[in-house]
Amino acid sequence: MMLLRPPGVYRPQSDTRLLTAALRGAAVPPGSRVLELGTGTGAVAVAAARRGCQVVAVDVSPWAVLTARINARVRGLPMRVLRGDLFAPVAGKTFDVILANPPYVPGNIDPAAVRGRARAWEAGPEGRTLLDRICQAAPHHLTPSGTLLMVHSALNGVEPTLVALRQAGLRASVVARHREPFGPVLRGRAESLTARGLLSPGQGHEELVVIRADRAARGGGHEHGSRAA
């Protein structure tokens, strides 16, 4: 899918494709209310809108908001794109599906102080600054039978995400995995992350996961099958 992507807006990569595939696998029915957090170019939101879903997409970057709006408009898709921090623009609203591909690269920079394209990957010391916020807030924005689909790196810890979502009353599991070579950001941080114990010596890849969390019980699923930073 060809998308407008001006400088400063995160380019759809393997994690985008992994989340889009998980959306297809979830068999979301037309008419479902879908929220995408951190939409970037709007790639995943556009995929949901093409399935006939009622889509709201959110991003903190004004360039990303404009880009996603254009990408939806040229396709004739009635997608709303709002600027703001995570759930702030949709306070008090609930959705059948929440999609999230938050920043997850560990680093020493405060994500709140980041501007430009780095907003798409800077995620604090453990890479969980936004992940933890989504785990805490998402259950309050799901309908009684709603589903969260979220992609992140196993470097951030998969178990903490599952535990946080289960403690919030959701049924959570890993539904997709993908092994991805390091991109330039992680390659540049490999030495410091190895010293901190987040990487094994000589490691040059990460595992990306999609976690699904449901309010309602569902039948057991199988893992199937990525942000090269």
Per-residue pLDDT reduced to its tens digit, 188-205: 888 889 998 888 898 999
CA dist 11 and 118 (Å) reads 12
Name the helix (H) or strand (E) containing 171: strand 171-181
Helix (H, G, I), strand (E, B) or coil at 137: helix
Residue 83 falls within a domain, yes or no?
A: yes
CA 124 to chain CA mean position, Å: 16
Q: What is the CATH number of the domain that holds 176?
A: 3.40.50.150
pLDDT for res 216: 67
pLDDT for res 1: 64
For residue 228, is pLDDT > 70? no
Q: What is the mean pLDDT of residues 207-213?
A: 97
Residue 219 falls within a domain, yes or no?
A: no
| Out of 92-106, 118-132, 198-212, least confident range | 118-132
Number of domains present in the structure of the chain: 1
Give 83-105 pLDDT, tens digit per residue.
999 999 999 999 999 999 998 88
Give 48-84 pLDDT, tens digit per residue.
999 999 999 999 999 999 999 999 999 999 999 999 9
Residue 121 falls within a domain, yes or no?
A: yes
Q: Determine contact, residues 9/40, Cβ cutoff 8 Å.
A: yes
